[in-house]
Amino acid sequence: MSAVGHYLEQEGIATVQISLIREHTAALKAPRALWVPFMLGRPFGVPHDAAFQTRVLTEALALLARTDGPVLEDFADDAPADDLGQPAQGLTCPVSFPSFKAEGTLATRLADEIGQLQAWHALAQQAHQKTKLGITGCTPAELGVFLSSWLSDSPLLTLKDQSMAPFQAVKFASDELKTFYYEAKSVQPGQHSSASMQHWFWFETTAGEAFLTLRKKFAQEGDPAFAGLATLSMVPRAVLAELGDS
Q: How far apart are CA 37 and CA 51, in angstroms?
A: 17
HEC readout, 181-201: HHHHHCCCCCCCEHHHHHHHH
pLDDT in tens, 100-152: 556 789 999 999 999 999 999 999 888 888 899 998 999 999 999 999 999 99
Q: How far apart are CA 122 and CA 147, in angstroms?
A: 22
- Please report which residue ranges of the chain form alpha helices under DSSP H: 2-10, 22-28, 50-62, 106-128, 140-149, 166-185, 194-204, 206-221, 227-230, 237-243
Check whether 12 has a pLDDT greater than 70.
yes
Q: How far apart are CA 230 and CA 233, in angstroms?
A: 8
Asked if 134 and 168 count as a contact pair (C-beta separation under 8 A), the reply is no
Predicted pLDDT of residue 241: 86
Rg (CA), the chain: 19
Can you give the pTM of this predicted structure? 0.66
pLDDT in tens, 152-205: 999 999 888 778 899 999 999 999 999 999 999 988 887 788 888 899 999 999
Q: How far apart are CA 13 and CA 194, in angstroms?
A: 36
Of the candidates 40, 90, 32, 86, the one whose C-alpha atom is nearest the C-alpha of residue 63 is: 32
Check whether 93 has a pLDDT greater than 50.
no
Burial classification of residue 207, based on how many CB atoms lie within 10 Å of its CB (0-12 exposed, 13-18 middle, 19 or more buried):
buried
pLDDT in tens, 29-88: 889 999 988 876 788 988 888 999 999 999 999 999 998 879 999 998 888 876 554 444
Q: Measured between alpha carbons, how far is residue 27 from residues 30, 71, 109, 208, 227 in Å?
A: 8, 12, 34, 26, 13
pLDDT in tens, 191-233: 788 888 899 999 999 999 999 999 999 999 989 989 888 887 8
Check whether 91 has a pLDDT greater than 60.
no
Predicted pLDDT of residue 233: 82
Q: How far apart are CA 159 and CA 1, in angstroms?
A: 23
Asked if 215 and 230 count as a contact pair (C-beta separation under 8 A), the reply is yes
Angle CA 175–217–116, to nearest 5:
45
